[in-house]
Amino acid sequence: MWRDNWVTFVLLVLLGLLQYRLWFGKNSVPDYLALKQEVQQQSQQNDNLAQRNNLLKADISDLKIGLESIEERARNELGLIKQGETFYRILPAEN
């Protein structure tokens, strides 16, 4: 009789230790959920960076291929105009 109770007690203690380790120990369920969220954030950041890289690759390819993109950049970023063109600046009306 005592032997049956002893085995049950030992098994319950082992079950308790395993449950403690599952919920509060190293690599527990909360750690897993935190890492899962961190991986999701990193994946989102990687997707954003990949999209940015694709846009930069497209810009590089445009710059290598044609002069039109170089001219567009010079006009927009540097404010340059072609020879013989007239520059008009339209200002908003003052109140």
Q: Is 58 inside any structural domain?
A: yes
pLDDT: which is higher, 63 or 36: 36
Q: Is 90 inside any structural domain?
A: no
Task: Count up the domains in the chain and report the number.
Answer: 1
**Which residues constitute the domain of residue 11?**
2-70
Report residue 68's pLDDT band, with 50, 70 and 90 as the boundaries.
confident
pLDDT, position 3: 64
pLDDT, position 4: 67
Dist. CA 75–CA 92, nearest whole Å: 21
Q: Is 94 inside any structural domain?
A: no
Helix axes 29-65, 2-24, angle to 10 degrees: 30
pLDDT, position 74: 80
pLDDT, position 27: 81
Dist. CA 60–CA 63, nearest whole Å: 5
Q: Is 81 inside any structural domain?
A: no
Q: Is 84 inside any structural domain?
A: no
Residue-wise pLDDT tens digits, 13-61: 888 888 877 778 788 888 889 999 999 999 999 999 999 999 999 888 8
